Amino acid sequence: MNKIIAAFDGLRFSESTMKYAIYLAKQYNAHLTGVFLYESTSLGFAVYTMIEKQSVSGQNIFKEIAKSDKIAINNAINNFETACRNAKLSYRVHRDTGNAARELLHETAFADLLIIDAQETFSYLKEEMPGWFIKNILHETRCAVLIVPKSFSPIKQSVLLYDGSPSSIFAIKMFNYILPEMGKLETKLLFAANKSSLPQLPDDKLLKEWIERHYSKVTYKILNGEEKKLTATLAKEKKEAVLVAGSYQRSNLSMLFHKSLADLLLKETKTPVFIAHC
């Protein structure tokens, strides 16, 4: 891996995104680009506090908002740059001031991995997780994505979600190609068998023939029958694990795309989630 991009809301800086990005950039000697997004068409978060307190009135409020936002963004960038210098990383900063989703998707075309906080919304309004912004990025991204929780933990275990689809095996392959050192970690491959199917891995021999040449400490677990068992198992994963899942598309054929599991991965789990699609 040569280039990681870490996406930040310029007005609501994610320490977790920064820590995961620096952790992986150091491990893989990768170039790290901090993409600081700020929608010039939207009002900053400061405005809502100001209006509520009625501390500023008239046209002056917009000047105060712009000033407050500029300070917040500069502080966030300084924080990022200081951390990168301390880690002795190759890095750059991009300030994107257009439509946040469109700007970030354009950036992903020129990166190997995007790291972003699961709670990024670019909105002052509270949204049910995962929010519209994250869903849009996952549907349209041009590179693999690591969705990170609000607190950082070093990655010590991999959990590969497999359902027999080309999408799920593609994600597992991309995880190995982009983050090959993860193949040395304790690895679990989980398969949720349909109630009507035999409790065995699809393409068992072909799967193991490939997996065991890339993941040195892999075990297999078949959860017979129900998605509930899978969601319950994932909910118990330690925060030091990373979950690897297939593409976040509009199809409902894969186990990943069932709403309850998607919500679990991006809302309830306390682990990073690696998502890639072909």
List pLDDT tens digits, range 246-269: 765 444 334 444 554 556 677 766
pLDDT of 32 strictly over 90: yes
Lowest mean pLDDT among 53-67, 77-91, 184-198: 53-67
Least Cα distance to 88 among 22, 140, 133 occurs for 22
Higher pLDDT, 116 or 58: 116
Least Cα distance to 190 among 278, 114, 264 occurs for 264
Q: Could you give the 3-state DSSP secondary structure of residue 184?
A: helix
| Mean pLDDT within 142-152 | 93
Looking at 3.40.50.620, 3.40.1360.10, 3.40.50.2000, 3.20.20.370, the CATH number of the domain 3-148 comes to: 3.40.50.620
* CA distance to 123, 154, 192, 272, per residue, from 16 (Å): 19, 11, 31, 10
* Residues whose CB falls within 8 Å of the CB of residue 121, separated by 6 or more in sequence, listed in order: 9, 127, 131, 132, 133, 134
* CA distance to 16, 27, 84, per residue, from 20 (Å): 6, 11, 12
| DSSP characters over 159-178 | EEEE-SSHHHHHHHHHHHHH
Count of residues for the chain?
Answer: 278
- Which ranges of 42-88 does DSSP label H, i.e. alpha helix? 46-53, 60-86
Give the pLDDT band of residue 99 (cuts 50, 70, 90).
confident
pLDDT of 168 strictly over 70: yes
Note whether 3-148 and 157-275 share their fold. yes
Q: What is the pLDDT of residues 202-221, one digit of tens each?
A: 899 999 999 999 999 999 98
Average pLDDT, the chain: 82
CATH class of 157-275: alpha beta
Domain segments of the chain as ranges: 3-148, 157-275
Least Cα distance to 274 among 103, 80, 143, 105 occurs for 143
pLDDT of 141 strictly over 60: yes
Higher pLDDT, 126 or 240: 240
